[in-house]
Amino acid sequence: MGKTPTGKNTSGRGQRDLKVKVKSARGRKLSSTRWLQRQLNDPYVKRAKAEGYRGRAAFKIMELDDKFRFLLPGARIVDLGAAPGGWCQVAVKRSNILGEKGGKAVGTILAVDLQEMEPIAGCEIHQLDFMEDDADLKVKEWLGGKADVVMSDMAAASSGHKQTDHLRIIALCEAAAYFAFDVLEEGGTFIAKTLAGGAEGELQKLLKQRFRKVANFKPPSSRADSSEKFVVARGFKADVPMDDA
């Protein structure tokens, strides 16, 4: 018997999948109406609201961590493009930043974004463009050293053209990777969202030169009709010269 993200059974006599329908409104595009209807019927959106997370993306980082185990107690973690903060909320809990369950409060969660963010207990928030020339120096200063994990759920603004959007997000992911090279500790981990589409070959090659293990994973909470996936690069090789990468 199947279960939804809310834990309820999806089969059985007399049960129906009751969906919220959204009527088209004057001045609103059909695509916006469809998006709103999908949001209202998305079980992960409902679960995020019920459990106090800032978005359904929180479940993606949970599923990534369940598989690869990088949100460890004491870890120094940098979340690039962190707004609205769902990934940080998960990282705080899983890294035991607040000293839950009798543990000692250790580690650091650093949220970096161009826009302001609402505070998150256990997380340091900095409004910063990670592409600035001295951004890596600022981050290492805030951390008090290098990072164990750099993670990114960033996506470039959609143009509506599939190939253009693919190239934009790959470029953004590459920029995040180069930032990670500057701030990661030996053996560190880099996680970033990409889109399947053919242009990620160079990114994969670059990561395989700088990390001991590189995997690609589509979390169950990613929508089935989405081409997004996440690259998880582990075992950073800090001593590889950039010219050879």
Provide the residue-wise pLDDT of the chain in tens; the chain has 245 residues: 444 464 444 444 343 344 555 455 555 454 544 544 455 566 878 888 999 898 889 999 999 999 999 999 889 999 999 999 999 999 999 987 776 655 565 689 999 999 999 999 999 999 999 999 999 999 999 999 999 999 999 987 777 777 888 888 899 999 999 999 999 999 999 999 998 776 688 899 999 999 999 999 999 998 787 888 999 999 999 988 765 54
Q: How far apart are CA 57 and CA 64, in angstroms?
A: 11
Is 138 among the catalytic positions? no
Q: Is 134 annotated as a binding residue?
A: no
- The catalytic position among 193, 213, 229, 237 is 193
Query: Phi and psi of 53, rounded to 5°?
Result: -90, 155
Please indicate, yes or no, whether the overall pTM of this predicted structure exceeds 0.85: no
Length, in residues, of the chain: 245
Place of tokens 């329908």: 21
Q: Is 197 annotated as a binding residue?
A: no
pLDDT tens digits, 52-79 = 898 889 999 999 999 999 999 889 999 9
Q: How far apart are CA 7 and CA 210, in angstroms?
A: 40
Q: Is 113 annotated as a binding residue?
A: yes
Domains in the chain: ranges and CATH = 23-52 (no CATH), 55-244 (3.40.50.150)
